[in-house]
Structure 1
Amino acid sequence: MRWGQTVVGLIVLVATAWGCLALWFQLPRQFTALGLIVLGVWGLLGAISAFTLFWRYQARYRRSLLGAYTLSATLLLVWWYNIPPSHQRDWADDVAYLLQAEIQGDQITLHNVRNFDWRTETDYTPNWETRHYNLNQLVSADLILSYWMGPHIAHTLVSFGFNDGRQLAFSMEIRKERHESFSAIGGFFRQFEQVIIAADEQDIIRTRSNARNEDVYLYRLTMNPEQLRTLFLGYLEAAETLRTEPDFYNSLTSNCTTIVFDLARQIAPELPLDYRLVLSGHFAEYAYDLGALIPEYSYTQLQELGYINARAKESDAAEKHNFSRIIRMGVPGASAKNTP
């Protein structure tokens, strides 16, 4: 009995901590005295309820306290699952617009393709474009990892190449409001909606390598034309779903890496789950083990040759349209027609 009470007490403490974080991340903009009182009462009730389970001398209070705690937890969960995602917020400039695609056979028109000119992370010239693509000209896809928090966590992008030399990169990102900044913990607690950005590489890659000084690696994916087409259209379908039905970003289950995995499973349904889907900094190694990267090289060689930062910074002295070509110099498999 004592062990059972201890386990329940630990569950109550974990649930209480989760509830405190949920309240903290959902109420900060309205944190009046009432909000602080709600958080304080919830935390105190959970702590006292757990205390009565750990100490047998408090048995006479246990039933009523646990009843009050259960009722409060139920109300908290009802509130939590009824928090609606929204497109109607004061969005930051770089996520202000949603990608919209018009598909007519092989002809694709994309509205709201991002092509900002980033001088620093906070100094930029915004620019949103309408672009036209032909699926028959789709010739390549590259996996790009940008490391912003140590060797185990990276932001994952996929960039598609066309035989006219153009590149288009897709990225699932948090859709932060103007006053917000990224929080990995907040990403577990519905602080952000999610958005799929389609962007010029000069924008979405250069801002990471040059403006933010993140370590960026580029790997050529080995995909046939039908697989390229499926993956490209998969991004457009996912973007359209988000455009019509807003959804929350989740740091674990719905992020920049899981979308690549989910779309890849449309091509190869047997793809296995792996810890490297969570530790996204190792996602390229996962892709290599599955045979999705250039096979004539070791993974270590691909990683070394795919490090683009030095070339990306050198590109600042070159013409803007050369960025995609310059960062691919020496990258195995990336000397295809789409890098003139």
Structure 2
Amino acid sequence: MDVNLGWLLITCLMYLVASILVLWIAGAIFFDVGRATWFGGVLAAIWVVCAIVAFLSWQPAWKPFVLILVLSGFFLRWWFFQKPSQHREWDPNFSQLARVSLQGDEITVENVRNTEYRSARDFDTRFETRSYRLSQLIGVDAILLQWGSTLMCHPMFVFDFGSSGRLCISIEVRYRVGQKYSLIRSLYRQQELMYVVSDERDAILRRSKCLEGHDLYLYRLASDALTDHEFFFEYVNAINSLAENPRWYHGLTTNCTTSIYAQGRGRMEWDWRMLFNGSLDRFMYDRQLLDQELPFESLKKQSWINGIANSAPVDNFGDYLRRELTGYRTSVDHELAETGKREEYLT
């Protein structure tokens, strides 16, 4: 290779690496140093301008590049030592962390959220302690929320304990007062991770009733009893661990889907749709985790729950939802027939 061409490639690589570092640190200065204020914006702008001036005025390029690396190293050392906390001014709906205990066959879950929503800003926040029988875990449902980009969705899982009731678990940002979801913000140390444990009516109506453009789909997972129990206890371990040791939420590496993979890494095979999860339901269908009797598009169309959920009664909300939902009833008919629980389920 020609020496000049080789040096040109190296120089381009240095500029690329430096640009990535400078822009990322600018974001960290804005969010983590300046707390997303105008002052943080000024500091970030000064950092970017200084980096540009250094490269324009100091030659050869490797000299400002080394300076950027050294300064970045010092900054990252500080950044990585920031610690997540359980003590913030939390949004009321995210103020209480769940805990799960098991005594024999009885599961006790503290701080199950059961908020009553009249609108996105008008609601009564409630947290309850609920009990379930582990021996009555008869299945798991997936609720997928889609909005905006087709590249992303939000998965939630509902554990069906039969006559004991249902429990919904959703991995989310633990919002502070006034915070909203921001992918860019989530790349910095601005938001903690939370396992929201709630009544499924809360989890569904919070989105279907209060947020425009949010579509929810309910699917029954085609899994056996052993897998359901393993999946549930993966969540239990994560919930109890998080109650003791807070963690940062990260929009790419520690989010609603990658956290599921991390807690079940021993039995899950990685797939790119876990990162760009907008087609997560298609991924589960391809892995035969959803009903195979219908083509995927038909199953998805029949699994949309917004209209049914918004008109469902408060009492027996979940049973009504599943009786009215064509796609769900199709997916569980054979399972119920085989277990002899069809009549119990439909009454």
TM-score exceeds 0.5: yes
Q: How does 1:144-293 map to 2 (within 5 A)?
A: 144-164=143-163, 166-213=165-212, 214-266=214-266, 269=267, 271-293=268-290
Q: Give the conservation status (yes or no) of the 8 Å contact 1:9–1:51.
A: no
1:211 Cα deviation from its structure 2 partner: 1.5
Amino acid at match of 2:191: F
Q: What's the counterpart of residue 27 of structure 1? A: 33
Aligned 8 A contact 1:95 1:176 in 2: yes
Question: Counterparts in 2 of 1:1-340, with a 5 A limit?
Answer: 1-29=7-35, 31=37, 33=39, 35=40, 38-51=43-56, 58-59=58-59, 62=61, 65-164=64-163, 166-213=165-212, 214-266=214-266, 269=267, 271-315=268-312, 318=313, 320-328=314-322, 329=324, 330=326, 331=328, 332-334=330-332, 337=344, 340=347
C-alpha distance in 1, partners of 2:294/2:201? Answer: 28
Quick check: 1:93–1:126 contact (8 Å CA) kept in 2?
yes
Q: Is the 8 A contact 1:218 1:306 kept in 2?
A: yes
Match of 1:55 in 2: none
Q: 1:261: how far off? A: 2.9
SS of equivalent to 2:128: strand
Asked if structure 2 preserves the Cα contact closer than 8 Å seen for 1:170 and 1:199, the reply is yes
Q: Distance in 1 between matches of 2:346 and 2:29?
A: 49
Contact 1:194 1:249 in 2 (8 A): yes
Unaligned runs of 5+ in 2: 1-6, 337-343
1:76 CA displacement: 1.1
Residue identity in the other structure for 2:44: L
| Identity level (%) | 27
Give distance in 1, aligned partners of 2:118 and 2:55.
53
Distance 2:73 2:279 in 1: 39
1:271-327 per-residue CA deviation (whole Å, 9 max, x = no partner) reads 432221122221011111111111222211210111111111221xx3x02321232
Distance 2:221 2:346 in 1: 15
TM-score by length of 1: 0.90
- C-alpha distance 124-242 of structure 1, shift in aligned 2 (>3 A): same
RCO higher in 1 or 2 (8 Å CA, sep ≥ 6)? Answer: 1
Quickly say closer, same or farther: Cα 1:63–1:280, change in 2 above 3 A. Answer: closer
Q: Deviations along 1:242-281, whole A, 9 cap, x unmatched?
A: 1111100111111111233334544xx2x43222112222
User: SS state of the match for residue 333, structure 1?
Assistant: helix
Look up the match of 2:3.
Answer: none
Q: CA deviation at 1:15?
A: 0.9
Q: 1:126 to 1:114 in 2, by over 3 A?
A: same
User: What one-letter code is carried by the residue in structure 1 that aligns with 2:17?
Assistant: I
- SS state of the match for residue 195, structure 2? strand
Write the deviation string for residues 208-256 of structure 1: whole angstroms up to 9, x where unpaired.
1111131000110011111111111111110111111110011111111
CA distance in 2, matches of 1:306, 1:261: 24
Aligned mates of 2:297, 2:75 — CA distance in 1: 48
